[in-house]
Structure 1
Amino acid sequence: MATVVSVARHAGHEFSKTVVEDIRIIAGHGIEGDAHAGVTVKHRSRVAVDPDQPNLRQVHLLQHELFADLAKSGFDLSPGDLGENILTEGISLLDLPTDTVLRIGPDVLLRVTGLRNPCAQIDSFRPGLLQRLVHKGADGKLVRKAGVMAVALAGGMVRCGDRIEAIRPALPHRPLERV
């Protein structure tokens, strides 16, 4: 069963987020009190290009299983460290198709828009971490492991322990790409 391990938010544009007891998701907006919430893009690099583009990165979800993998390489990480809003367990986020809807708890619906594309800030946080989160696979294509981004379709509260259900879109499925 897929579940929420932790939730986090931060009002400022900091790299890491603060783990909290619960977060409120607002439909069409994202996480109440989080710097990346809003209808239009909030990530500074994207705002510089076009501040009016839609915000496809309202909610960042990350798989907890990644932490164990990174620990083998000497990276000891805690919830919120990588800027995720929702840390999950038991769901292979990176294998979901684009437009998968995640039902979290009884009320929240998030639509997965794509892969998080981590930037060089990660190496400022922990030197060498970026190459563990983005690297070339055996086929020569980039492999991104820094979680997925989503938009809020239906709001409500999300807490540690909430169940997560993945509702895949109709075929044909489109693979996740960076957003």
Structure 2
Amino acid sequence: MAAVSRDAAHRFSKHPVVQVRLVAGLGVQDDAHAGPTVQHRSRVAVDPLQPNLRQVHLIPAELLSGLAAIGYDIAPGQLGENVLTIGVDLMCLPRATRLGLGEHAVVELTGLRNPCRQIDEFRPGLLREVVGRAADGSVVRRAGVMAVVITSGIVRPGDAVAVQLPTGPHVALDRV
């Protein structure tokens, strides 16, 4: 991993830290989005009792590198991610893939982040770089993946990421 971040307040960006503690069933300790039920304000307004399928937000560092190449200088945590990975093609993994993070923590992918206009408020024009259309007209989201915490543990920059694909048919990630 390249970086880990958290923020106790509901802000767009998070603060890089030396480590985060992932708590099973809750998310990132001391992060505004931790909890067994949905914590994202727009989703709380719809149904505050729905399960929190967005406990941990992961983004590949390669996305930040690609954005930098077209003029968007974005530091770790600035897109609101908790975990910045290196060398894992997160966007192509199927739903229910488990990622071992560090020595003990395990998260399970639930879906794709669905970026909103806040991303353009952060950097004008950035939304069109992380959401586009495929040749068939379908929406392509590149702003990271969401996960729930299965096994608690401490996660630090430099920790390894182990990918465990689900058994049975693979289901593509969709917005969550």
TM-score (norm 2): 0.99
**Map of 1:39 onto structure 2:** 36
Corresponding position: 1:160 with 2:157: yes
Partner Cα separation in structure 2 for residue 102 and residue 151 of structure 1: 10
Partner Cα separation in structure 2 for residue 170 and residue 140 of structure 1: 30
Corresponding position: 1:81 with 2:81: no
**Map of 2:25 onto structure 1:** 28
Q: Deviations over 1:31-68 (max 9, x none)?
A: 10000000000000000000000000000000000011
What letter is aligned with 2:10? Answer: H
**Map of 2:9 onto structure 1:** 12
Q: Which runs of 4+ in 1 moved over 6 A?
A: none
1:137 to partner: Cα distance: 1.3
Q: Deviations over 1:59-87 (max 9, x none)?
A: 00000000111112211110001000000
Aligned residue-pair number: 176
What letter is aligned with 2:127? Answer: L
Corresponding position: 1:103 with 2:76: no
Structure 1, gaps ≥5 residues long: none
**Map of 1:59 onto structure 2:** 56
Report the aligned-residue RMSD: 0.6
Partner Cα separation in structure 2 for residue 85 and residue 47 of structure 1: 20
1:171 to partner: Cα distance: 2.1
1:113 to partner: Cα distance: 0.2
Partner Cα separation in structure 2 for residue 46 and residue 94 of structure 1: 23
Among residues 77, 93, 103, which one is paired with 2:90 in the alignment? Answer: 93
Partner Cα separation in structure 1 for residue 66 and residue 104 of structure 2: 31
Partner Cα separation in structure 2 for residue 44 and residue 73 of structure 1: 31
